[in-house]
Amino acid sequence: MALTLFGVVLNRTGWVWLIAGWAALAGVAIAQPADMQMWSVKAQDRPSDAGDAVQLFWSPIAPAAEFICYIVQRAPAAEGPFETIATVVSIDTQYVDAAALTGDVYFYRVAALDSVEAGAADQTTSPADSLSAASPARTVDTIYTAVAGPVNSTAQWFNLRRLNQFLVIIILSAAIIYFISQARSGKQLYVRKIAGLQAMEEAIGRATEMGRPILFLPGIHDMDDVQTIAGLTILARVARTVAEYETTLNVPVSRSLVMTTARETIKEAYAAAGRPDSYNDNMVHYVTDEQFGYVAAVDGIMMRQKPATCLYMGAFFAESLIVAETGAEIGAIQIAGTAQPAQLPFFVAACDYTLIGEELFAASAYLSGEPRQLGSLKGQDVGKVMAMCALGLGAALLTLHSLVPGWPILANMADWVGKVFQVR
Amino acid sequence: MGFVLIFAFFIPHHPFDALGEDVTVFFDIVAVFAFILGGGNLLRMHGNHIYTRHKDRWFSAVTLAGFLLMLFAGLFKIGQEGWCGAVDQPGAWFNNIYTATFDPLQSTMYALLAFFVASASFRAFRAKNREATILLVAAFIVLLGRTPAGDYATDWLPDSLSIFKVSNLANWIMSVPNLAGQRAIVIGIALGVVSLSLRVILGVERSHLGTDKS
Amino acid sequence: MNVSDWLALQVAALLTLGIVSFLYKDNPIYKICESIFLGVSAGYWFTVLFWENMVPKLYENISQAGSRPYTEAGVPSLLYVVALILGIMMLLRLFPKLGWMSRWPLSVVVGATAGLWFITYMQSNALSQLRATLLPILDFQAMDAATGTGLSGWFNKYLGNLVILVGTSTGLCYFYFSKEHKGVFGGLARVGIYFLMVTFGASFGYTVMSRMSLLLGRIDFMISEWWPSLFSGWS
Amino acid sequence: MFWERLLRLDRRWIFLFVAVSVLLPLLFNLECHQVPTPIVRGIFDKLESLPPGSHVLLSFDYGPSTVPEISPMAHAVIRHCLERDLKVVFMALWATGQNLLTSTVDSVVKLEFPHKVNGTDYANFGYKAGNQGVINVIATDFYKMFTTDISGMPARTMPLMEDVENMSDMSLIISFGGGFPGIKEWVQFAGDVAHVPVAGGCTAVSAPLLYPYYPQQLIGLMGGIKGAAEYEAMLTHTYPKFDPLPKRGMLAMGPQTVAHLVIMFFIVVGNLAYFLSRSHKAKA
């Protein structure tokens, strides 16, 4: 299914890109100046924006011996007065006037500054200054373009430049929702085992047998990080098992919002397990927002309470190794999960099990065992297939292109596969 | 709410263009209010320790004193002229307490990492199975590549084999297989986030809100 | 160095030693340092949040004391009044009967986070990483430019892109949930795990040096600032 | 059994080992002996080969967070240039670089080389906004960007700048800092365009990204503390008068190297213990 869907996208976006590409080529062809007299600037509303910018393009001026820079000027009317709005020092031949207001009409022209006499001693630093005080005595020669305009900046309702991303998202979401609804209608879906998650229940059981608490850390980020949300969804499953086993759960947190949310989560999990009375607010306590202050406190808690099981699920940074090593020292079973690529090595090295990246987000669905949730994991797999197909296709095209450089069609196709993944 | 934000990304028109930023500001404001709850929890917990003569009551007293002192110094900008300056300007109490306590505590805690890195390498880097061996070898080469010892050891290699000089090999590992692994992880994460976000937005995953009534 | 600076230096040094003592074992001195750290840092962050978020973002926007975009029109922004209401709803948790209302701001926060990250991850992780991985297996054009002779040249020329492509795809196979890791697919997933292990090993080795320099910084403070101060005293 | 006991070694021994191995080199000011690699030697040899009076442009393109790694390089290079009577032109592409530059001029140039005259032997032009645009402009005309130095002294009248019109009058450009804008931009917009040799000093983290430019577009590169230490070693070897000065690169390199070796030692010992105790068990 993924393939057919993918095929359709390729076709649709393909047309859009083909047309856009030709238009751009045509634009470049028109903008080529015949000679200096016809040097001109093209001004247009920047497409797909909030109506706050005008784009300017001009062709490079024939490189004079002492070319300095371009100056962009703007006026409310064709006859002026023109006001300098920018100096383009580099070899760029375009400029975006981001100060244009929606609805107002503007006229633009560009000037090229050439220093006629090399190295005049009294020259000012800023070319803009030298222009505003331009007089015949100056050694700066200025060549203007024809005035371009009128242009006004308008806002659009859809960002066409993000069309490719929009389509990718639609397909991916459609795949996920499709599998969720499949699962809801009772179809059995297979999901492979994840070692770290299978070990979770065992680890909780071990703590119960040993009569020691379970420590759960939801990371050091606030609720505005999706990793924290993933951590709390796992906490919900863990708390439910803990409630059934009647073990002690200890959740020190470093953010107040996380504290509030975690309390709600655990309270409901206990209620769902039929033990609402065993819940109390002290299971979750706020420590401090400071990263290392939190670590200092957690280390202390570990050394004093000697939890049998430590679960680290969320966004972790430099503290990952400090807590994991302390946990190893007290002989706890440790299961970690984070999507922080830089910290994964430390967890992998120091913990018994580690949920790597994607597994963290899949964990709650997996633990819940609900068909609907498992369905969403299938949807993710469609994304992976799509990614691998794109990689294969791109690699094949680019390799062919480098083998047969004479075939522009290969280059265009390869280029276009890249554009599907363009990010703006 | 989630859906609105996803679509807003594709709508450049006002007011959707800045919605993402607005929501971030919203979040910051709600977080400050939430802190009153968090700070309240801190006060209550340690206050309780003192009240019930818990064995940790003296430590709790220290914590409370630090907390209240910092709040007092910061919220009233003690030792500072007027109300306009930044709260952490030099000379203010707030800043002095920060440099005398917070700063050394923080950097020392961070520096402990050096020790834990050593103990983790001793404990975890053992060639127990094939995965662990690969981990070990990669780490070893990269470590060796960053010390002069590695250069001494493989300096004799001819130019045609220069890729096997430890520092070159370390660079190659960093820029090729490491990059590949990172990309797989990162793409996987993105798909995981997309799926989790959809579950949350569609209400399939509601456990975080405590309405897990399945 | 005046008396107060000298004292601050001594306090800083004592706290440093107190934290380090944890390496030996948990002890009361560490516990005191920990308590100070907790109190001071919680106070610090609340103060910073208050002055950085509450005052400029809420108070100034509603009272028009600031010059934020939404207040430019001269109308106190309703958007921020909404934020204020959400914040107050948060506080209603303090009253058990109204506690349910605090779920509203929580839902808004969680929903918004989900939506925002959906886009961010899609854009900056999935799409741009994929685009960067679109490479020719063998780039015959670039080969002449590749550096190195003999085997090294061969490495640079042929292996780089191929390894990146294989590593990324097999790594994705490892994360594939719908199929058991068996047979050919299991083999691919296994190669994927090997790549992940190389990644973890390499990043571990790479970070060791920067961790060491943090420790050096601390030791340097003790040796070159604190130790001399013991003898020089204050003036 | 010895190996088994080693396997369960109390980690506090490891901590002690690390602490001692970092402390000892620091306490005894152990300077780690460095064998200069060709990529660092390239810069040193270039400076050695320039005739006295040649102009060298040093650009400070870094910020406070990378000072520990980069400032030792900058100090060593400045000493080398001034000792060889080269004329040094200082500037910065990073706003944060200006403060670092000024304090470096105060602490190194003015203190250690009091006979060198500002405006004749060296000049500090400070920071100019514009990133690679700045390079682009001074490639054709230095005075379009820098009319005066940081204290307001007109650039044109400086004896130092007598024969300088643009970048091609410089004999060497050295950029300190691996971020943007930095070494890469100097290579692209100055080295490749004006055909001036470019060299650089950057953090260890960004060095791999710049290796591909050596040796065609970069004549040399100092990466991280290690690069700084190598340069210091060459400098003190050739000019023993600098020996008493603090060599921060070499000093920091010692404990770092020892710590690295200690960690590798532990990995090796851990594995040895693991295999030997296992084979012992198998025999029993």
Write the pLDDT tens digit of every residue in D165-174: 888 889 999 9
List CB contacts (< 8 A) between D11 and chain B: 119, 122-123
Contact C109 A168 (CB under 8 A): no
Looking at the fold, whether D114 and D9 belong to one and the same domain comes out as: no
Taking the Cβ of residue C12 and every Cβ of chain B, the question of whether any pair is shorter than 8 Å is answered with: yes
A313: three-class secondary structure by DSSP: strand
Looking at the fold, whether D80 and D14 belong to one and the same domain comes out as: no
Quickly count: other Cβ atoms within 10 Å of residue D52's Cβ. 8
Q: Which of B33, B65, B178 sits opposite C203 (nearest CB)?
A: B178
Tens-binned pLDDT, residue by residue, of chain D (284 aa):
777 888 888 889 999 989 988 888 877 777 666 778 888 999 999 999 999 999 999 999 987 667 778 888 999 999 999 999 999 999 999 877 887 898 899 889 988 899 999 989 999 998 887 777 788 788 878 887 888 888 888 888 899 988 888 888 899 999 998 777 888 889 878 887 778 899 999 887 677 667 767 777 889 999 888 888 889 989 999 999 888 877 778 877 778 888 888 888 888 888 888 888 888 777 76
Q: In this predicted structure, what is the pLDDT of residue B7?
A: 57
Contact C38 A297 (CB under 8 A): yes
Cβ-count burial of C38 within 10 angstroms (0-12 exposed, 13-18 middle, 19+ buried)?
buried
Looking at the fold, whether D230 and D195 belong to one and the same domain comes out as: yes
Looking at the fold, whether D217 and D177 belong to one and the same domain comes out as: yes
Looking at the fold, whether D240 and D270 belong to one and the same domain comes out as: no
Peptide bond into D114 cis (omega under 30): no
Contact B146 D260 (CB under 8 A): yes
Taking the Cβ of residue D35 and every Cβ of chain B, the question of whether any pair is shorter than 8 Å is answered with: yes
List CB contacts (< 8 A) between C38 and chain A: 287-288, 293, 296-297
Range of lowest pLDDT (A156-165, B120-129, C41-50) = A156-165
Tell me the β-bridge partners of A142.
Answer: A113
Tokens at residue B81, please?
A: 């002229």
Please name the residue ranges forming H helices in A126-162.
127-132
Q: In this predicted structure, what is the pLDDT of residue D200?
A: 93
Distance from CA of B82 to the nearest CA of A (A): 28
Q: What does the alpha-carbon distance between residue D22 and residue D251 come to, in Å, rounded to a whole number?
A: 11
List CB contacts (< 8 A) between A305 and chain B: none
Looking at the fold, whether D238 and D200 belong to one and the same domain comes out as: yes
Given a cut of 50, whether residue C71 has pLDDT beyond it is no
Taking the Cβ of residue B104 and every Cβ of chain C, the question of whether any pair is shorter than 8 Å is answered with: yes
Q: Which of A66, A89, A119 sits opposite D133 (nearest CB)?
A: A89
D176: three-class secondary structure by DSSP: strand
Looking at the fold, whether D23 and D54 belong to one and the same domain comes out as: no
In chain C, the residue whose alpha carbon lies closest to the alpha carbon of B163 is C152
List CB contacts (< 8 A) between B124 and chain A: 349-350
Taking the Cβ of residue C142 and every Cβ of chain D, the question of whether any pair is shorter than 8 Å is answered with: no
Q: What is the mean pLDDT of residues C98-124?
A: 80
Please answer whether residues B56 and B46 qualify as being in contact, where contact means their C-beta atoms are separated by less than 8 angstroms.
Answer: no
Q: What does the alpha-carbon distance between residue D216 and residue D95 come to, in Å, rounded to a whole number?
A: 29
Distance from CA of A149 to the nearest CA of B (A): 23
Distance from CA of A353 to the nearest CA of D (A): 21
- Start-to-end CA distance of chain D, whole Å, equals 12
Residue D62 located in a structural domain: yes
Probe site for chain A from C130, C168, C196, C198 (most A CB atoms < 10 A): C130
Residue D83 located in a structural domain: yes
Distances (CA, A) of A339 to A347, A368, C70: 11, 20, 36
Tens-binned pLDDT, residue by residue, of chain B (214 aa):
555 556 555 555 555 555 666 677 778 888 888 999 999 999 999 999 999 998 989 999 999 999 999 998 888 877 766 666 666 666 778 888 888 888 889 889 988 988 998 888 888 888 888 888 999 999 988 888 877 677 677 777 766 666 677 777 887 888 788 889 988 998 999 999 989 888 888 888 776 554 433 3
List CB contacts (< 8 A) between B144 and chain D: 264
Taking the model in full, what pTM does it have? 0.79
Distance from CA of A213 to the nearest CA of B (A): 19
Domain boundaries, chain C: 125-235
Looking at the fold, whether D23 and D71 belong to one and the same domain comes out as: no
Distance from CA of A36 to the nearest CA of B (A): 38
Q: Which of B67, B101, B208 sits opposite C110 (nearest CB)?
A: B208
pLDDT tens string B59-115: 999 999 999 999 988 888 777 666 666 666 667 788 888 888 888 898 899 889 889
Taking the Cβ of residue C223 and every Cβ of chain D, the question of whether any pair is shorter than 8 Å is answered with: yes
Q: What does the alpha-carbon distance between residue D105 and residue D103 come to, in Å, rounded to a whole number?
A: 5
Looking at the fold, whether D182 and D268 belong to one and the same domain comes out as: no
Looking at the fold, whether D241 and D278 belong to one and the same domain comes out as: no
For residue D103, the domain's CATH number is 3.40.50
Residue in C104, A50, A221 with CA at minimum distance from that of residue B1: C104
Please answer whether residues D97 and D61 qualify as being in contact, where contact means their C-beta atoms are separated by less than 8 angstroms.
Answer: yes
Residue in C111, C182, B196 with CA at minimum distance from that of residue A380: B196
Q: Which of D68, D225, D260 sits opposite C208 (nearest CB)?
A: D260
Taking the Cβ of residue C204 and every Cβ of chain D, the question of whether any pair is shorter than 8 Å is answered with: no
Residue D33 located in a structural domain: no
Q: In this predicted structure, what is the pLDDT of residue A121?
A: 37
Contact D26 C209 (CB under 8 A): no
Chains adjacent to A (≥3 CB pairs closer than 8 angstroms): B, C, D
Distances (CA, A) of C56 to A289, B86, B89, C46, C48: 20, 12, 17, 15, 12
Tokens at residue C39, please?
A: 């109190």
Contact C106 A261 (CB under 8 A): yes
Please answer whether residues B27 and C115 qualify as being in contact, where contact means their C-beta atoms are separated by less than 8 angstroms.
Answer: no
pLDDT tens string C204-228: 887 777 677 778 878 878 887 888 8
Taking the Cβ of residue A159 and every Cβ of chain B, the question of whether any pair is shorter than 8 Å is answered with: yes
Q: Which of residues 201-240 of A touch B (CB under 8 A)?
A: 222-224, 226, 229-230, 232-233, 236-237, 240
Scored b (16 or more CB within 10 A) or e, A398-411 reads bbbbbeeeeeeebb
Contact C125 B97 (CB under 8 A): no
List CB contacts (< 8 A) between D221 and chain B: none
Q: What does the alpha-carbon distance between residue D57 and residue D167 come to, in Å, rounded to a whole number?
A: 9
Tokens at residue D81, please?
A: 């240039």
Q: What does the alpha-carbon distance between residue A199 and residue A220 come to, in Å, rounded to a whole number?
A: 24
Taking the Cβ of residue C128 and every Cβ of chain B, the question of whether any pair is shorter than 8 Å is answered with: no
Tell me the count of A-C CB pairs closer than 8 A.
Answer: 180
Given a cut of 50, whether residue A35 has pLDDT beyond it is no
Tell me the count of B-C CB pairs closer than 8 A.
Answer: 389
Rounded to 10°, the helix B103-124/D11-27 angle is 120
Q: Which of A191, A395, A403 sits opposite C135 (nearest CB)?
A: A395
Taking the Cβ of residue B179 and every Cβ of chain C, the question of whether any pair is shorter than 8 Å is answered with: yes
Contact D11 A121 (CB under 8 A): no
Contact A125 D146 (CB under 8 A): yes
pLDDT tens string A376-408: 898 889 889 988 988 888 888 888 887 777 777
Please answer whether residues A327 and A310 qualify as being in contact, where contact means their C-beta atoms are separated by less than 8 angstroms.
Answer: yes
What ipTM describes this predicted complex? Answer: 0.80
Q: What does the alpha-carbon distance between residue D250 and residue D231 come to, in Å, rounded to a whole number?
A: 9
Domain span including residue D200: 38-246
Q: In this predicted structure, what is the pLDDT of residue B159?
A: 65
pLDDT tens string A69-116: 677 788 877 777 777 776 665 556 677 776 666 667 778 777 776 655
Taking the Cβ of residue C1 and every Cβ of chain B, the question of whether any pair is shorter than 8 Å is answered with: no
pLDDT tens string D222-276: 988 888 888 998 999 999 988 887 777 887 777 888 888 888 888 888 888 888 8
pLDDT tens string A271-308: 989 999 999 989 999 999 988 999 999 999 999 999 99
Beta strands in C129-195 (DSSP E): none
Q: What does the alpha-carbon distance between residue B31 and residue B37 come to, in Å, rounded to a whole number?
A: 10
Looking at the fold, whether D69 and D122 belong to one and the same domain comes out as: yes
Given a cut of 50, whether residue A34 has pLDDT beyond it is no
Looking at the fold, whether D20 and D72 belong to one and the same domain comes out as: no
Give the count of domains, chain D.
2
Distance from CA of A118 to the nearest CA of B (A): 47
Contacts of A14 (CB under 8 A, 6+ apart): A416
Tell me the β-bridge partners of A336.
Answer: A312, A354
Contact D137 A69 (CB under 8 A): yes
Tokens at residue C113, please?
A: 């986070």
Contact C35 B67 (CB under 8 A): no
Taking the Cβ of residue C213 and every Cβ of chain D, the question of whether any pair is shorter than 8 Å is answered with: yes
Contact D23 C219 (CB under 8 A): yes
Chains adjacent to D (≥3 CB pairs closer than 8 angstroms): A, B, C
Given a cut of 70, whether residue A47 has pLDDT beyond it is no
What is the pairing mode between strands A41-45 and A54-58? antiparallel
List CB contacts (< 8 A) between D9 and chain B: 122
Contact C135 A398 (CB under 8 A): yes
